[in-house]
Structure 1
Amino acid sequence: MTLMTFAAYEQQLKWVAFVLGVASTICVVQGYHLGAMLFSLPFCLIWMYCAWLRREPQLKYINMLFTALYIYGIGRYFWIAG
């Protein structure tokens, strides 16, 4: 599987990312922080992929940072809760 495998679906992926972003925002407003992180992680992964397609390093690296932070936050949530 190459980087260009899903390039034909880029616009659909962006719409999915939009829905995930809205869902994440609703979770933040409602105070459900785990839900916000769980919705935001795939949001960041989609935008990181789209940035790789368009060779936009700034967008790619920002989303890599946020992806790492969300993975840390999700892991910390389950570490403390468990």
Structure 2
Amino acid sequence: MTGLLALAAFEQPMKRFAVLLGIGSTVCVVQGWTLAAMLFSLPFCVIWAYCGWLRTEPQLKWLNLMFAALYIYGLARHIWWTN
């Protein structure tokens, strides 16, 4: 648990950065830039999963981990099919 608390002082800046990532991801979705949307969304989900662990919000952390896994799958699929 100590490792998770190491970044607790940066929680608000991380959340602000996550909001920017979310906005960027939304713009990418609207523009049809699938790869960029996944690249913005993955760190967004990781930040919010971390914040869920920090605040012990189980529904938030598990939901974001599920989405992070789906983005990792999507990125791996993209890399696999474009090479």
TM-score relative to the length of structure 2: 0.96
- Which residue does 1:7 correspond to in 2? 8
TM-superposed CA distance for 1:24, in Å, is 0.3
- Which residue does 1:50 correspond to in 2? 51
Quote the RMSD (CA, aligned, Å): 0.8
- Which residue does 1:16 correspond to in 2? 17
1:19-34 aligned within 5 A? 19-34=20-35
Letter in 2 for 1:11: Q
- Which residue does 2:79 correspond to in 1? 78
- Which residue does 2:69 correspond to in 1? 68
TM-superposed CA distance for 1:4, in Å, is 0.6
TM-score relative to the length of structure 1: 0.98
TM-superposed CA distance for 1:16, in Å, is 0.3
Percent identical pairs in the alignment equals 59
Letter in 2 for 1:73: G
Deviation digits for residues 58-77 of structure 1, max 9, x if unmatched?
Answer: 01110110010000000000
Q: Structure 2: give runs of 5+ residues left out of the alignment.
A: none
Letter in 2 for 1:18: V
Q: Structure 1: give runs of 5+ residues left out of the alignment.
A: none
